[in-house]
Chains A and B, each alone.
Chain A
């Protein structure tokens, strides 16, 4: 038995050896082509380029690009060819195996101008057929931009092989762009090209169509109608873009104002230090990220998930502290509350400035929040999208909390009729403290999100306070839906005014409109109905 087994193993090893040694003997057209580089003859080199470019071998691209850069080394003695990488490591061009060093007798394969053109064409075709989808897409897009007639063949070849949908579309666009500018293309081809570009419908297609020069009458006519339709669709997309920016701004406003809506709405407390709670949340994120960077670098992607509850706790605890030590003595004196909390905001700002310095601190984006994706003709960044979703989630949780929890019930009771609630046995002062803590905690969470899109500095909160108040006042006090509608209305109105009036004038216009709006509805969009006459 053992003998038998060892004999089999020997046979296996032998056959493996045979295969390895047989490889060079099984040389195909690719290997033959590679070997031709070693002849150091221009016509042989040209032949080799043609063979390699059409071989479909995965070494084809590195070899041709090495040839272009003068990194392809050929040894005339052993007829071996090597590719020296940009990092200094070399491989055998025929097999792709790493070699320790290129022999001294090897020299770079020479090129002349005619060869350089075929190298460029081969390379263009090769990138169009590169195994990597991203590279192919990029190549197709660059052909679309340059629309050189010479690339047409390569594009057609790539188009025949392409399976990926988006690359196929890009190649089709590139083909259309080439045909549109190709002088000897048929009218039918050109009309098709115009139709393809019309379907693409973006700024670049518009530029190609408007700059296409002299064409047959039917093509010109088709192009004119295509230009019209593209311009229409672009106008629609720019509306969509404005709406998206508006939603994004609205979500930021909502996030900043939502905590204020609670403290102001439920308790009637004007908290001018609200912005500083946002700032504290942002600094909590900074501290969490610092700890993660130095101790647990692997957790960086989770930093925001860790920071959000911490920021809630930090800002919420400070909120409760503020309520217990300052605000509860000032109930029923809203103007004094306003002044005291303004003073508090100065103290908090200066405290943070003393601890962390007056300059901006860097808060990083986790990988899932950086980058962007295309949606139709507009680009949507992930951080803005996440912030919008996060804001809506916070809003929904808050609504559910007010609706379904005991604390929420008590809060609503105290809002509607403080004395009656107290008579029913609700500890109103405890509810006040918790409400204020909740509002502050949500401001802290807002700070976590805002740290992703704004500078984290001691002045962070200042820039949001006036806007937040505008949102709450506009939306109506004591109604979270009002805050939601107010925030998104102001955000979208702002972004639609911006292109017309400019950023600053747009903002001024919004402020003036709110001031006028308050005249019409002094209690905001969604006012609480009641019969109470104010004292």
Chain B
């Protein structure tokens, strides 16, 4: 103890020398990892240190620029003020007037004013079609969460679904059909007129034998497909295409060659003891991430069974890799070589049986030892991996990223097969595709027939091919030769602007539907609000055309069609009206209906069942696939370009959703932009810094975008996120980021998202403002910089340590228990508390979006985030330890800790922030005068100040539009300019439980309250409840041996306990830093 104190004071006194010492250690790869968050911090950039001494960033507190202020003199201003006051006063009629109370004329029976109603539905945000539960209040959808009854999403959803209410109320949605005769001038028309024009063109196209092309993105609805088939029946020249910018096509192709079916299996990751992720971000951005993350953390519960072990081999840096126990940094195009070497190693050393001598011949290329020396990989890690895979045959799984080429996937399939890992494929469940994506050749053929004038009508069925198809396909050009281009869309996009007729369609909250992604069940979608604008359901539009009569439309058209299709299909056994109705309503109530595998999708669709809808179970690996696989991925060139999916904005569809734009990326914490992520070594070679514009040249085109130095990436790998750079979009998303479309080519060698031939990168000399939240809110005092490792903000250990001593974290800080000068208030009743399990937290950020929606948190925009003015109440702190080349990452959600001795409370001059008897640090907005003393005094930097009325300030006050006011949660005050705000532990939900308790004449039960972040957390890392309930789960977690409070030693007594991250590694040395 004494030693420590002397040690600290020495460091303070001998400041400059002491610091450089420690940094040399950090740079020299000393075993002690330093925790650092950015290079500027690691290298002790003097400018950064100066910044850290400030409470707020540059520009946050400066006085406004006089020259940019209004020229109105004070005298004139006062004159105007009094004149307007006089005018206002003369307009006063009755000061006692309090407005009106307008009840329903006939109140719907399910509505109780002020009490939310929940509806089960399906999210159509992406092709996963997750089950959702929509919270509506007085008929307005205000929040989306997962449907607990849904077999796949099990009560969880991703950020896209969470934020989707903003898409519904987006003021820039298309409100009326628009006609653009010459594709330039546009005028609003009525639906019947539009339908009539289109129908006559469809008829003439069909009779003259010209193709009618319907271009869709992924279709998950069997009945929608049936409607499209009906259209094809009415007009024989109809052809339906579907595509996606980023999909699993290479994986599916490989699976088809390996097993004879394109239906990918459901992998039971919860049964895997060892997982090897090869360039696979299965936790963060790949399709199925929600389900995978849920299964992955099943074996990451310190109080449950044995931990699984995650190995990651990747060139990019993803949250999957950063969560891995062992991470091997490897160029993406060397992964196939790695798989081969691994197989040889397994066969030779571990005698994993391989029957086929052809396979062996094919494999005889290089062994692991030469591979290890070639890529400079730690030998021990490979040893562990090989022995783990061998030990856990049939209980391990190799996950390969969707961007990898077909040949790699085939090799991985072989590896999984050889290890017996196909045992993890769910037997009773497979993934099914209602309509397979068109092949590259089919799309190419469409474009050439467009150009040669063989296409009479092109219908964009809620798709955006102009933006999404590879630019070298020249789709936009081809469209010019199509006489009639129709787009069905919710918003204006690049494709609608190239269309003759644009038809506005219902959002997912206004639509009926059925969706099938699995063989065992279907999920239903129901409207929860009447269409806000003059929009129609897209399937109903198709049916109207199929009927060949503009008057065929009515608002119930598709609803009836859907019911009829179910009467004939899934619910055919319910053969009376009454039986059907009750089964149908039960289905709507649950949101899902169980179906018998193999029959549903095909029997629903009137077309002949395609191979993709047939359920064929995989039987044995076809070794021919591997032996004959010709295109082998081999490392070549200096650079590997990788395009990565965007888990928030999708393919760019949600660019106008500010909540998603402002959600920091898990590792870089960059908002409102995409960038070229490059490794530290590559950056050094280029001489590039963060924000330097670089020009990437790919085989097909080039793109200029800012560089971002991402620690932990492989040398030469360039990763760019898709989904940015929308040009025709609403005011929020327009020209945010850079369109990566120019880099995707239809003539790829590896995969559409991976290039290593003639890729180059060069600095252009320009600069771009990349805004990252990472250097914001420094928790540490700059004078004590080097002491941060001992402050225990992040406390970690290994699983072995935990097995030896389950209390090792608790014991470590027992000697830190100093006496407090404050007298502890005894909370006799309920005392709220939270536990965040860092073993389960993967750092994805879904909680942030859920909190934004629940608590009416505004979007502030890129310029304001730059000034530290983001308003998100919960943030995910990301810490790096070790070297920039090979960092060890820790994530930590940080929110108001509701300290027992909250330092913010003592300094508020107006008592706007006070403590309640149930342990909540409250904030009375109407009392706050905006001194910001509380924020200054908060050790965790979790308070947020409204520097503006951000709703008014951001992008022409788009958030103050009439439609957005419908989105607000009525149980939470909408804060105005000049007040401080912060996490309230979802006080509104606590008060709801209290009112339930009083109604039922019982005590408040802590576990009945779920905070928004907890509800949204995919991996259930957050627990909330009453600490004083001795028999509760929360009480047990709060007092566990691996729990700790952040900055416990300052004795503010936080009420959030973090469970230390345990890394499941063989090494026993403590991963935490010592001095």
A and B associate in one complex: no
Give residues in A with beta carbon < 8 Å to B: none
